[in-house]
């Protein structure tokens, strides 16, 4: 009799345990896959999960935005002010035959062209000085990023007085020029200076 009673008691305990397990395991704990579908069908005005923008990696940028993306400190107004100063310095140095100054401002290919002009003038026994009548005007023509190199082309409009001396005597010539000068800098370099890499004539 006692054995039968014990079996009944154990059977009752087992039923209670099984019920407890079912009541726990049968519940949905956490977010279920079907919840995502339910969210999509939510009525307008319900809570919306914000979508974060993808980080801007600069892909697709061209021109000045591409340069500024690679070098956030780049300021076009400050650059143009520096370009105007470089323009006057280079024109004066070329007239004076100052090769040392030019070497610090010109790329090798441009330096070769300028030096050839200086050599020809010196061979003829002529000298020249330049005086700017007004500060040159500088406007950005275009900007591009080629690999790590930033290139900015500037349109310069200038008026200056050239005084030359040679075997035939002295001459004074007032000139107006319009040129496109392209400056370049490697953005990975710690050197902040830009080099003149190309010169073209331009329409005034």
Q: Is residue 177 part of a domain?
A: yes
Q: Is residue 80 part of a domain?
A: yes
Q: How far apart are CA 197 and CA 144, in angstroms?
A: 14
Instruction: Write out the residue range of the structural domain in which residue 84 sits.
Output: 63-201
Q: Backbone phi, then psi, for 88, in 5-degree steps?
A: -60, -40
Q: Which two tokens stand for residue 108?
A: 């090798």
pLDDT at 60: 79
Q: Which two tokens stand for residue 142?
A: 């275009």
CATH number at residue 121: 3.10.450.240
Q: Which two tokens stand for residue 5?
A: 């009673």
The 8-class DSSP code of residue 86 comes to H
Q: Is residue 182 part of a domain?
A: yes
pLDDT at 203: 83
- Where would I find the H helices in the chain? 2-25, 33-40, 63-70, 76-96, 99-103, 108-123
Q: Is residue 10 part of a domain?
A: no
Q: Which residue has the higher pLDDT, 149 or 54?
A: 149
**pLDDT band for position 29 (50/70/90)?**
very low
Give residue for tokens 């780049």.
74
- Structural contact between residues 153 and 142, judged by C-beta atoms closer than 8 angstroms: yes
Q: Backbone phi, then psi, for 33, in 5-degree steps?
A: -55, -35
- Inform me whether the pLDDT recorded for 63 exceeds 50: yes
Q: Is residue 181 part of a domain?
A: yes
Domain count of the chain? 1
Q: Which two tokens stand for residue 93?
A: 């140095």
The 8-class DSSP code of residue 147 comes to T
Q: Is residue 67 part of a domain?
A: yes
Q: Stretch 51-62: mean pLDDT, rounded?
A: 59
**pLDDT band for position 11 (50/70/90)?**
very low
Q: Is residue 33 part of a domain?
A: no
**pLDDT band for position 59 (50/70/90)?**
low
Q: Stretch 155-170: mean pLDDT, rounded?
A: 94
pLDDT at 57: 59
Q: Is residue 26 part of a domain?
A: no
Q: For the chain, percent helix, then strand, then coil, each to nearest 5?
A: 40, 30, 30
Instruction: Give residue 146's region: left, alpha or beta (phi > 0; psi -120 to 50).
Output: beta
pLDDT at 58: 61
pLDDT per position as a tens digit, 69-88:
999 999 999 999 999 999 99
Q: Which residue has the higher pLDDT, 96 or 29?
A: 96
Q: Which two tokens stand for residue 72?
A: 């956030």
Q: Is the pTM of this model over 0.75?
A: no
**pLDDT band for position 89 (50/70/90)?**
very high
Q: Stretch 126-146: mean pLDDT, rounded?
A: 95
């Amino acid at each position: 009799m006692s054995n039968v009673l014990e079996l009944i008691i154990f059977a009752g305990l087992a039923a209670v345990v099984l019920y407890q397990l079912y009541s726990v395991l049968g519940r949905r704990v956490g977010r279920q896959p079907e919840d995502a579908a339910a969210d999509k069908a939510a009525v307008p005005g319900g809570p919306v999960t914000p979508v974060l923008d993808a980080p801007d990696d600069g892909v697709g940028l061209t021109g000045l935005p591409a340069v500024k993306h690679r070098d956030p400190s780049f300021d076009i107004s400050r650059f143009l002010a520096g370009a105007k100063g470089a323009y006057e310095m280079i024109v004066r140095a070329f007239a004076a035959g100052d090769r040392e100054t030019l070497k610090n401002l010109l790329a090798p290919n441009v330096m070769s062209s300028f030096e050839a002009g200086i050599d020809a003038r010196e061979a003829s026994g002529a000298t020249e000085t330049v005086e700017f009548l007004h500060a040159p005007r500088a406007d950005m023509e275009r900007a591009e990023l080629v690999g790590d190199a930033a290139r900015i082309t500037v349109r310069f409009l200038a008026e200056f007085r050239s005084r030359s001396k040679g075997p035939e005597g002295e001459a004074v010539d007032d000139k107006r020029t319009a040129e496109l000068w392209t400056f370049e800098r490697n953005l990975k370099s710690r050197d902040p200076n830009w080099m003149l890499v190309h010169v073209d004539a331009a329409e005034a």
